[in-house]
């Protein structure tokens, strides 16, 4: 199969909608990472996502809604949780937040991987929004990488991952957040944080109690310990100076700066100003760039702090595992 990449615009949107209507998968930008989208209500189309990504079928997909009115059609919100769900949707949608809720019968089993719940979000990305509006149906879309690999933050990354496996990619430029959406479940009148992301626990705490689930108890099947894996081995260190191996065969993923005298084969800085949002935006692209050098090792410095820093550390730990 030949993979076509179209620059975002009316013609590209129309091509994406046509492909999705005919049951095809399309690589599309969101504000977090690029997604591999298919009509969420068409199981035959959704299967193609699993095939292209080589994703295990036990791993459920996030459903992107055209608008909030679709929430009621796909999710069964218990009366006791309604107020909190509405509040969270009102505060963070459209945006980088995914909610896990009990699902209705309209959600195909394959999308939910047999779970009784569905993960839903409303994206703020204009390209995805335009496609959803024109299509008038929700889209199932996981990150557009092969299973276990680094999430794509640019159209070229999607091509690197899925060239020849999907018919179409829409290039909407680099994504703004750079890491995947925050995932929460609203249960027992509180917010359970299932995956850290651009919306922080602190932001969520304004609305209710937040239960921060540790790695082990995370139920999202995709939250496997090894994920975001570059081809080169990734090791996590507190500071570059703590690395004891051969620097001539290692690339450094530095937090704020490359210390003078450090002779790594290559080095990239996540954020010279120590800006966590900038660091998140640069994270996956930098990992990909260092990986492309085919060095023996990528040495990543720990990013200190809470909120986005924890979301970044979560990705780095999984990449190192």
Residue 42 contacts which entry, ligand TXA, Mg ion, none (Cβ below 5-8 A, type-dependent): none
Write down the least CB distance from residue 218 to ligand TXA, Å: 8
Contact in structure between 66 and 133 (CB atoms under 8 Å): yes
Query: Strands across the sheet with 250-254, in order?
Result: 233-237, 297-301, 250-254, 266-269
Give me 177's structure tokens.
């957040």
Q: Between residues 33 and 297, which has the closer beta carbon with respect to ligand TXA?
A: 33
**Helix or strand holding residue 312 (H, E):** helix 308-320
Count the Cβ atoms, other than its own, within 10 Å of residue 312.
Answer: 24
In the stretch 117-146, what mask flags binding to Mg ion with x, by CB under 5 A? --------------------------x---
d(CA 318, CA 321) in angstroms, rounded, equals 5
CA angle 258, 271, 170 (to 5 degrees): 125
What is the distance, to the nearest Å, from the Cα of residue 99 to the centroid of all Cα atoms in its chain?
14
Judged by the rule CB under 6 A, the positions of this chain that interact with ligand TXA are 30, 32-33, 35, 59-62, 98, 100, 112, 115, 117-119, 141-143, 180-181, 183, 194, 219-223
Q: Between residues 4 and 113, which has the closer beta carbon with respect to ligand TXA?
A: 113
Q: Between residues 35 and 108, which has the closer beta carbon with respect to Mg ion?
A: 35
What is the distance, to the nearest Å, from the Cα of residue 189 to the centroid of all Cα atoms in its chain?
26
- In terms of C-beta density within 10 A (0-12 exposed, 13-18 middle, 19 or more buried), how is residue 119 classed? buried
Write down the least CB distance from residue 264 to ligand TXA, Å: 30
Write down the least CB distance from residue 185 to ligand TXA, Å: 7
Contact in structure between 290 and 251 (CB atoms under 8 Å): yes
Residue 112 contacts which entry, Mg ion, ligand TXA, none (Cβ below 5-8 A, type-dependent): ligand TXA
Contact in structure between 94 and 118 (CB atoms under 8 Å): no
Write down the least CB distance from residue 59 to ligand TXA, Å: 5
Write down the least CB distance from residue 191 to Mg ion, Å: 22
- CA torsion sign for 245, 276, 218, 66 is negative
d(CA 114, CA 126) in angstroms, rounded, equals 31
Residue 61 contacts which entry, ligand TXA, Mg ion, none (Cβ below 5-8 A, type-dependent): ligand TXA
Bond prior to 169 in cis (omega within 30° of 0): no
Write down the least CB distance from residue 137 to ligand TXA, Å: 16
Q: Collapse the DSSP code of 297 into the 3-class scheme (helix H, G, I; strand E, B; otherwise coil) and give the result.
A: strand
Write down the least CB distance from residue 131 to Mg ion, Å: 20
Query: DSSP class of residue 248?
Result: G
Q: Between residues 58 and 86, which has the closer beta carbon with respect to ligand TXA?
A: 58
In the stretch 252-271, what mask flags binding to Mg ion with x, by CB under 5 A? --------------------
In the stretch 142-181, what mask flags binding to Mg ion with x, by CB under 5 A? -x--------------------------------------
In the complex, residue closest to Mg ion by CB: 143
Write down the least CB distance from residue 98 to ligand TXA, Å: 5
In the complex, residue closest to ligand TXA by CB: 222
Q: Between residues 254 and 317, which has the closer beta carbon with respect to ligand TXA?
A: 317
Which residues bind to Mg ion, rule: CB under 5 A?
143
């Amino acid at each position: 199969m030949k993979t076509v990449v179209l620059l975002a615009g009316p013609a590209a949107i129309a091509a994406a909608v046509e492909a999705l209507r005919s049951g095809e998968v399309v690589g599309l930008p969101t504000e977090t990472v690029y997604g591999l989208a298919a009509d969420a209500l068409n199981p035959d189309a959704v299967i193609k996502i699993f095939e292209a990504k080589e994703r295990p079928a036990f791993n459920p997909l996030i459903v992107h809604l055209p608008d909030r009115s679709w929430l009621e059609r796909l999710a069964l919100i218990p009366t006791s949780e309604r107020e909190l769900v509405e509040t969270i949707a009102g505060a963070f949608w459209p945006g980088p937040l995914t909610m896990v809720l009990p699902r209705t019968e309209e959600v195909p089993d394959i999308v939910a991987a047999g779970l009784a719940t569905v993960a839903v979000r409303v994206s703020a990305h204009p390209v995805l929004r335009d496609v959803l509006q024109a299509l008038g149906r929700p889209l199932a879309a996981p990150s557009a990488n092969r299973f276990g690999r680094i999430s794509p933050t640019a159209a070229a990354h999607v091509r690197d991952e899925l060239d020849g496996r999907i018919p179409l990619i829409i290039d909407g430029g680099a994504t703004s957040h750079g890491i995947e959406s925050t995932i929460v479940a609203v249960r027992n009148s509180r917010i359970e944080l299932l995956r850290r992301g651009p919306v922080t626990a602190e932001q969520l705490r304004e609305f209710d109690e937040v239960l921060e689930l540790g790695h082990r108890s995370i139920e999202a099947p995709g939250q496997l310990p090894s994920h975001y894996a570059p081809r080169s081995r990734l090791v996590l260190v507190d500071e570059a100076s703590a690395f004891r191996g051969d620097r001539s065969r290692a690339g450094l993923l530095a937090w704020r700066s490359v210390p003078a005298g450090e002779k790594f084969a290559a080095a990239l800085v996540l954020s010279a100003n120590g800006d966590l949002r900038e660091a998140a935006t640069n994270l996956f692209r930098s990992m990909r760039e260092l990986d492309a050098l085919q060095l023996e090792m990528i040495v990543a410095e720990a990013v200190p702090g809470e909120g986005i820093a924890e979301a970044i550390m979560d990705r780095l730990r999984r990449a190192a595992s």
